Amino acid sequence: MRNSTYRWVLVAAGGLLGCMAIGSIFTLPVFIRPMAEGTGWSVTGISTAMTIAFLAMAFGSMALGSLSDRIGARPVVLGGSVVLAGSLAWASRATSLIEFQLIFGLVVGLSIAAILPPLMASVMGWFDTHRSLAVSLVSAGMGMAPMTVSPFAAWLVSNYDWRYSMLIIAGLAAVTMIPLALLVRRPPALEEEEHAVMEGGQPVAAMSVGTALRSPPFIVLMLTNFFCCATHSGPIFHTVGYAVSCGIPLIAAVTIYSVEGLAGLGGRIAFGIMGDRFGAKNILVLGLLAQAIVAFFFFFARELGTFYVVAAMFGFIYAGVMPLYAVLARENFPQRMMGTIIGGTGMAGGLGMALGPWAGGFIYDTFATYTWLYLGACGMGIGAFLVAMTFRPFPKGAPQPVTA
């Protein structure tokens, strides 16, 4: 069953679901200026909706991942898809800033938390080979969002008002994501684990959720993901501002993101192949060290060409390492709690992502330079590398306690 061709159907469906989910939330930067002009709401106020969404995604990931472990991934992903489409439509009708912040921030953020961790957990349960490549391909689908949904949103808002444009995005989410969510099926790994526990084998499969959440491998994965995301979130968010401060025109500086995004697609696939061949932990550790070094390279960038080179390296690396956390989770924890484990590491990563933009803004406002942002990012990256070095997988034959 694990070798069924259906597992690749699930990978394709997962990539498209992730693309639409991530693309939907990242329409806000495209709509923000027309929204401010059309409503009189402040740019800061509208941007706050994005901050709320990231926090909702972070804190909702573990809870909704745990729910998927209890009732199955399909109903949670399906529910998240329905709520995402509905909340985007609702947000397009918002009449006050606080209403928009709560709908787009809280409800949209939670709906995405209901989609991504259960989806990744389900994909993991269909693969015992090519696992790193599979999850990297799903992640690559998410990485396509800035090159597909965002340009479509930009075309819409250039021809229609932001409310109608957001309503169109809501409709697109409904007609694509709801059918795709129905393709999610119970992974074969669950039946295999249930059989193994009945036969008295595979002791890790009998581990309790409480034991897993207190275990050193889980804690190390969470800390590593936090420091990893804190490393790249600041440079991702502030590099255009840094380039403009170096005298590069805004329209040219924005293209740095395109270079970073394209490189990230290649990084996801390359790191997935290397993870399958050389081991997910080994590639993750090396990738984290490389990420820290390249973050420091931004310190030396002054010309557009240099920004392109550094951004390409940075995007290739940080996008490549991210799917490996799910692979390590699956290699060390039972499939029946995979939504909880992936949701927990996603929560830590979300908090790290929320830290970088704020810290970068604080640094610039305090010192009138981005120098310390990139030095700080390098330091965070070294921290992620050192924490990852302490990761020790569960011994395959050691019995694990099953008490909560």
Residue with tokens 């402040």: 42
Residue with tokens 């569960």: 394
Query: What is the model's pLDDT at position 195?
Result: 65
Query: What is the model's pLDDT at position 370?
Result: 84
Query: What is the model's pLDDT at position 11?
Result: 93
Q: Which amino acid is at 69?
A: D
Spatial separation of the C-alpha atoms in residues 96 and 92, rounded to whole Å: 11
Write down the CATH superfamily of domain 6-193: MFS general substrate transporter like domains (1.20.1250.20)
- The 3 state secondary structure assigned to the chain is CCCCCHHHHHHHHHHHHHHHHHHHHCCHHHHHHHHHHHHCCCHHHHHHHHHHHHHHHHHHHHHHHHHHHHHCHHHHHHHHHHHHHHHHHHHHCCCCHHHHHHHHHHHHHHHHHHHHHHHHHHHHCCCCCCHHHHHHHHHHHHHCHHHHHHHHHHHHHHHCCHHHHHHHHHHHHHHHHHHHHCCCCCCHHHHHHHHHHHHCCCHHHHCCHHHHHHCHHHHHHHHHHHHHHHHHHHHHHHHHHHHHHCCCCHHHHCHHHHHHHHHHHHHHHHHHHHHHHHCHHHHHHHHHHHHHHHHHHHHHCCCHHHHHHHHHHHHHHHHHHCCHHHHHHHHHCCHHHHHHHHHHHHHHHHHHHHHHHHHHHHHHHHHCCCHHHHHHHHHHHHHHHHHHHCCCCCCCCCCCCCCC
Q: What is the pLDDT along the chain (404 residues), one digit of tens a residue?
A: 455 788 999 999 999 999 999 989 888 878 888 898 899 998 778 888 888 888 899 899 999 999 999 999 999 999 999 999 999 999 999 999 999 999 999 999 999 999 999 999 999 889 888 888 898 899 888 888 877 888 888 889 889 999 999 999 999 999 999 999 999 998 887 777 766 655 555 555 567 888 999 999 999 999 999 999 999 988 887 887 888 889 998 778 878 887 888 899 899 999 999 999 999 999 999 999 999 999 999 989 999 999 999 999 999 999 999 999 999 998 899 888 999 999 999 899 989 888 887 788 788 888 888 889 999 999 999 999 999 999 998 876 544 444 44
Domains 6-193 and 207-389 share a fold: yes
CA end-to-end distance (rounded Å), the chain: 31
Annotated domain spans of the chain: 6-193, 207-389
Query: What is the model's pLDDT at position 196?
Result: 60
* 46 touches 139 (CB < 8 A): no
Specify the length of the chain in residues.
404
Burial class (CB in 10 A: 0-12, 13-18, 19+), 365: exposed
Domain 207-389: state its class: mainly alpha
